Amino acid sequence: MKDLFQVIEERRAVKVFDPDEKISKEELTDILELAGKAPSAWNLQHWHFYVFHDQEAKDKLFKLAYNQTQIRDAAATIAILGDKEANKNYEPVFAPLVEAGALSAEIYNALAGQIDGAYQREGYPLVAAHHNAGLAAMQLMLIAQAKGWDTCPIGGFDHEGFVKEFNVPERYVPIMIIPVGKKLNPGRPSPRLEINKLTTWI
């Protein structure tokens, strides 16, 4: 089992995947379940995963992503969508806690009020969809790496075309595509800036 530090050091945006490598539905489901343990505001879980597993599905996505071969050649490609109506998840997430006696009705109602207030603010639903789904995307890459798979975060695709091609409901917004497979080549070198150039100590 790899530790977290090793996983972080090893993860790279892989550009060349082995097209002969396969991944099972069970393995993908396990990765998605663990990615879904990412934190989210009020635990509303503002993500939805579209899984492109067979070759025909991956080929459709490949064309919408400017022919980036990672999508075509990876064992599977997962699109992470953000949920602009994640406030609708409140009841299914929290009502069972009230029923189980783990949350008082008073706190349940107070949280519902906070969430309603936030979702009435202009711009909030889209911003929340983006940053919460981004956390699940990062976690997905680390989980996949820990399980011996490689990934590549991809933002370069036709977002409008994606919505049309896959009949994405208005509720969801495409955030990122992540091919999951086995690398044939390591990712390109990706040096980081000195941390003190990116840090302000207050």
Ligand X SMILES: Cc1cc2nc3c(=O)[nH]c(=O)nc-3n(C[C@H](O)[C@H](O)[C@H](O)COP(=O)(O)O)c2cc1C
12 belongs to the binding site for ligand X (CB under 6 A): yes
* Closer residue to ligand X in complex, CB, 17/90: 17
The single residue among 7, 10, 13, 41 that binds ligand X, judged by CB under 6 A, is: 13
Residue 190 is a binding residue for ligand X (CB under 6 A):
yes
Residue 152 binding ligand X, by CB under 6 A? yes
Residue written as tokens 């590549």? 152
Q: Which is nearer to ligand X, 31 or 74 (CB)?
A: 74
Report the nearest approach of ligand X to the CB of residue 193 (Å).
12
Our CB check for ligand X shows the closer of 66 and 120 to be 66
Stretch of 9-17, 31-39, 40-48, 73-81 lying at the interface with ligand X (CB under 6 A): 9-17
The CA-based angle 196-12-163, given to 5 degrees, is 105
Q: Which residues bind ligand X (CB under 6 A)?
A: 12-13, 15, 68, 152-156, 176, 187, 190
